Structure 1
Amino acid sequence: MEALTLLSWMFDSLLGLGLLWLAWWTLSSPDLFKAIVLFISFGLLMALAWVRLNAPDVALAEATIGAGLTGALLLAALARLDPKHETRTTHEIETKSDVHD
C-alpha cells in the first residue's frame, strides 16, 4: 500500500511539472501553430489533473471546451491569417529598430 502511495505521489508530481513545462513552452513559442498544439496538449493534460483531483465533471469540461473547442477555434483563426502579414517576434522588431538607429 505504501508503494502505491509513493507511485501516486510521483505521478502527481510529474503531472504538475509537465503542466508547468507545457505552460512555459506554450507562452514562449514564437511559432503560432506550435503554440496552439502545445495549448491543446496542455488542456488535455489539465483534464487529466482534474481527474486525479476527483473532479470528472470539470475534467470533461476542460477537455471539451479548453482543449477541443478552443483549440479548434484557434486553428481556424490561424488558417484565416494572411501569410503575407505574419506576426513578427520581439527579437525581429528590436533588430530592425537597431538597424535604423
Structure 2
Amino acid sequence: MIEFTIISWIMALLVIGAAIYAIETKDLLSSAIAAGVASLVVSIMFLILQAPDVAITEASIGAGLTMAIFVYAIGKTGRWEK
C-alpha cells in the first residue's frame, strides 16, 4: 500500500510539473509536448487505478490526437510566443 501511495504522489508531481512547464514556456512546441506528457501520465494513473477504458481514451484522445492537432497548428503558424 505504501508503494502505491508513493507512486501516486510521484505521478501527481510529474503531472503538475509538466502542466506548469507547459504554461510557463515560450516555445509553443515544447508546451504542446509537455501537455501531451501530462495527459500520458494521467492515462497511466488511470491504468494503475484499474480503469483501462478511461486510460485508453485519455491516451488516444488526450495525449495523441490533441497533441497532434497542436503540433500541426504550431507548424502552420509560429513556434515562438511573442
Whole-Å separation in 2 of the counterparts to 1:87 and 1:47: 29
Report what 1:24 is aligned to.
20
Q: Distance in 1 between matches of 2:5 and 2:30?
A: 30
Query: TM-score scaled by structure 2?
Result: 0.90
Instruction: Structure 2: state its 5+ residue gaps.
Output: none
| 1:69 CA displacement | 0.5
Q: Show CA shifts across 1:39-65 (max 9, x none).
A: 111111010111122211111000000
Q: Deviations over 1:3-51 (max 9, x none)?
A: xx21121111111111111111111111101101111111110101111
- Measured in 2, the distance between the counterparts of 1:9 and 1:82 equals 41
Number of residues paired by the alignment?
Answer: 82
Q: 2:81 aligns with which of 84, 87, 90?
A: 87
User: 1:87–1:50: structure 2 CA closer, same or farther, 3 Å change rule?
Assistant: same
1:46 counterpart residue number:
42
Q: Given that residues 36 and 64 in structure 2 are in contact (C-alpha distance below 8 angstroms), is that contact kept between their aligned partners in structure 1?
A: yes
**Contact persistence 2:36–2:62 (CA under 8 A):** yes
For the 8 Å contact 2:26–2:81, the answer to whether it is kept is no
CA RMSD of aligned residues (A): 1.5
What corresponds to 1:37 in structure 2?
A: 33
Q: Which is greater in Rg?
A: 1
**Greater relative CO, 1 or 2 (CA 8 Å, sep 6+):** 2
Residue number among 58, 66, 85 corresponding to 2:62 in the alignment: 66
Could you state the TM-score of these two structures normalised by the residue count of structure 1?
Answer: 0.74
- Quote the Cα distance in structure 2 between the aligned partners of 1:25 and 1:82: 19
